Amino acid sequence: MSGLRYLRCLEGITRREALRFLQQRGRFFSALVRPLVWLLIFASGFRFVLGVSIIPPYQTYVMYEEYVVPGLCAMVLLFQAMQSSLSMVYDREMGSMRMLLTSPLPRWWLLGCKLLAAVLVAVLQVYAFLLVAWFWEVRPPPLGYLLVLPALLMAGLMLGALGLLLSARIRQLENFAGVMNFVIFPMFFASSALYPLWRVREASPVLWALCHANPFTHAVELIRFALYGRIEPVSAAVVGGAMLVFGALAVLAYDPAIGGIGRRGAPPNPA
Amino acid sequence: MSVVAPHPLVAASHGASGAAPPALEVSGLSHAYGPKHALHDVSLRVMPGEFTVLLGPNGAGKSTLFALVTRLFDARQGSIRIFGAELRRHPGQALAQLGVVFQQPTLDPDLSLRQNLAYSAALHGLSRAEGRRRAEQELARIGLLDRAGDAVRKLSGGQRRRVEMARALLTRPRLLLMDEPTVGLDAASRSFLLGHVRRLCREEGLAVLWATHLIDEVDENSRLIVLQEGRVRASGGLRDVLAEGGGGTLREAFARLTDEAWKGGA
């Protein structure tokens, strides 16, 4: 099987994701509105309550809106990853996942393509959000918009791989509500997305340790530092490591010999 | 007289007819979902150019067999070979020769027919130009080329089934699996599908495994495999199956073969 066939497969999956995204405009607007509600309402309301001292990568005091933007970028990636995971569960229940999994190309490659395609769509959403934030006078250095791209890709791949893993373990669409309660909310709120961790430490050292162990915190910090032209090596290592672990587990979960679809239960319509 | 050119891979296989391996060879296949056994020691063969009907009532294990042959997951026991390629060891080689129409729809209803087929072509590594060319060819064969730009959701159930089949044939498979493809279709759509697939077998040497619970989809030239509770109850030509089922019509023989009390006495 030549390398070209692998690239054609990647191109085809990416095109399909893009087409689906373009056709579901409501999805785009809700993906954009969600962080904007946080930025325009929540952050404005809390700007005088939640003061932020000088912490890296910031050189000076920053308004709360500015602090919260990298966390909201990560939130877009997190929700898109879970949306993509939900869509995988839906595709599996409806049957269209079978078209993907019966391709002669290796399954790890198919899943990787699916993951990358979803992340590219998510990154576009982040840039749309950053554009609106610019009009709200949250303006990182111009170079930051470029340097944040690899950070967004890494964070997106990590969260997307987690979503992929979850999609393999969730048997029914209805069970996805649990993901909201047990994955999205804890990951988002137990992180540095909305408040700096030194404030959390003052309140509870245990919670602080949890926030530190949360890979989402490192995704937020990776984006925050990159947006201001800096690399945060610990966060980069944690995000990269978590991306590999989640990705490997997802590939195993979809492996026909170990997981596969329908392995643990009868097919949806046994005949 | 068909004006359709034979599939290149099928044509190539005809050249080596003497040594051609079975299109599908299943040996000693068993599978269970937890404590529930779905397939017990199933063995079967489908030869190139053969139209084989896998006949069984609901819950007989047909969909499980299809899931295993398409490697949605691996069987616990037994082996599956597609044109000689062992599925677990050479999945790429085996799946490249396989086209499948699943019982559940696999098309994206929001995308057009052309976009759906292009996606399927890409999953097999075909170039955009080649995918487009084959999509048009297959859509023409099923009489839906003029609807190529329409979203799938605008099609009727029968038309969607035809597109599923066009999608399955897009990659020029040598073995076509069809899982209850006529469920929910009207008589005209059923007749079209059956006729089209039988013609592909006859004229292009395509091997077909057609799973159904409908006895009237069996004709006298079909090979038959009767599956009941995950076991092969009878197989062979129509006469063989009738003989194994105690004679009479196929409906009567099938009823006897899938009847618990009769099996107990057999």
Interface contacts (A, B; CB < 8 Å):
146
Cα pseudo-dihedral B259, A262, A84, A101, rounded to 10: -90
Residues 6+ apart with CB under 8 A from A117: A10, A13, A14, A16, A17, A18
Which residues of chain B form beta strands (DSSP E)? Answer: 24-33, 36-46, 51-55, 77-82, 85-86, 98-101, 175-179, 207-212, 223-228, 231-237
Does A264 reside within a domain?
A: no
Q: Do B213 and A267 touch (CB under 8 A)?
A: no
pLDDT tens for chain A, 271 residues: list them.
578 899 999 999 999 988 888 877 777 777 788 888 888 888 777 776 666 667 777 777 777 888 899 999 999 999 989 888 888 888 877 777 888 888 999 999 999 999 999 999 999 999 999 999 999 888 899 999 999 999 999 999 999 999 999 988 877 767 767 777 788 889 999 999 888 888 788 888 899 999 999 999 999 999 999 999 999 999 999 999 999 999 999 999 988 877 655 544 444 444 4
Does A107 reside within a domain?
A: yes
Q: Which stretches in chain B have pLDDT values below 70?
A: 1-19, 260-266
Residues 6+ apart with CB under 8 A from B109: B151, B152, B153
Does A266 reside within a domain?
A: no
Cα pseudo-dihedral A53, A58, A60, A63, rounded to 10: -70
Q: Closest to A99 (Cβ–Cβ): which among B96, B120, B127?
A: B120
CA distance to A75, B107, B135, per residue, from B163 (Å): 39, 8, 10
- Other CB atoms closer than 10 Å to residue B111's CB: what's the count? 19
Residues 6+ apart with CB under 8 A from A149: A123
Which residues of B71-179 form beta strands (DSSP E)? Answer: 77-82, 85-86, 98-101, 175-179
**ipTM, interface predicted TM-score of the complex:** 0.81
Give the closest residue to B108 by CA, choosing from B148, B72, B146, B151: B151
Residues 93-112 of A with CB under 8 A from B: 94-96, 98-106, 110
Looking at chain B, which residue has its C-alpha nearest residue A3? B125
User: A106 vs chain B: nearest CA distance in angstroms?
Assistant: 7
Confidence at residue B19, expressed as pLDDT on a 0 to 100 scale = 67
Q: Do B118 and A15 touch (CB under 8 A)?
A: yes
Question: From CA B118, how far away is CA B135, in angstroms rounded?
Answer: 7
Chain A residues whose CB is inside 8 A of the B167 CB are: 99
Tokens of residue B151, six digits: 């979203």
Per the structure, the complete domain to which residue A133 belongs is given by: 3-254
Q: Work out the burial of residue B16: count CB atoms within 10 Å of its CB; fewer than 13 is exposed, 13-18 middle, 19 or more buried.
A: exposed
Residues 6+ apart with CB under 8 A from B98: A102, B69, B70, B82, B173, B175, B176, B177
Residues facing B42 on adjacent strands: B29
CA distance to A128, A189, A191, B26, B260, per residue, from A133 (Å): 9, 21, 21, 60, 70
Q: Closest to B92 (Cβ–Cβ): which among A104, A257, A265?
A: A104
Confidence at residue A201, expressed as pLDDT on a 0 to 100 scale = 81
Can you say whether the dihedral through the CA atoms of A166, A167, A169, A171 is positive or negative?
positive
| Cβ-contact B205, B130 below 8 angstroms | no
| Cβ-contact A255, A175 below 8 angstroms | no
Does A142 reside within a domain?
A: yes
Q: Are strands B207-212 and B175-179 parallel, antiparallel or unpaired?
A: parallel
Q: Do B211 and A271 touch (CB under 8 A)?
A: yes
| Cβ-contact B172, B8 below 8 angstroms | yes
Question: From CA B128, how far away is CA A191, in angstroms rounded?
Answer: 44
- What is the DSSP code string of A10-54? HHHHHHHHHHHHHH-HHHHHHHHHHHHHIIIIIHHHHTTTS----
Residues facing B99 on adjacent strands: B176
Place of tokens 């799938």: B152
Cα pseudo-dihedral A28, A31, A37, A38, rounded to 10: -150
Tokens of residue A50, six digits: 């939640």
Question: How many domains does chain A fold into?
Answer: 1
Which of B119, B152, B229 should one mutate to test binding to chain A, selecting the residue with the greatest count of A CBs within 10 A? B119
Does A260 reside within a domain?
A: no
pTM over 0.90: no
- Other CB atoms closer than 10 Å to residue A41's CB: what's the count? 10
Question: From CA B115, how far away is CA A19, in angstroms rounded?
Answer: 9
- Other CB atoms closer than 10 Å to residue B194's CB: what's the count? 19
Q: Closest to B63 (Cβ–Cβ): which among A2, A99, A271?
A: A271
Identify the H or E element spanning B151: none
CA distance to A49, B4, B199, B201, B202, per residue, from B1 (Å): 82, 9, 10, 14, 11
Place of tokens 């990636």: A77
Contact with chain A for residue B122, Cβ under 8 A: yes
Pure H helices in A141-184: 142-169, 176-179
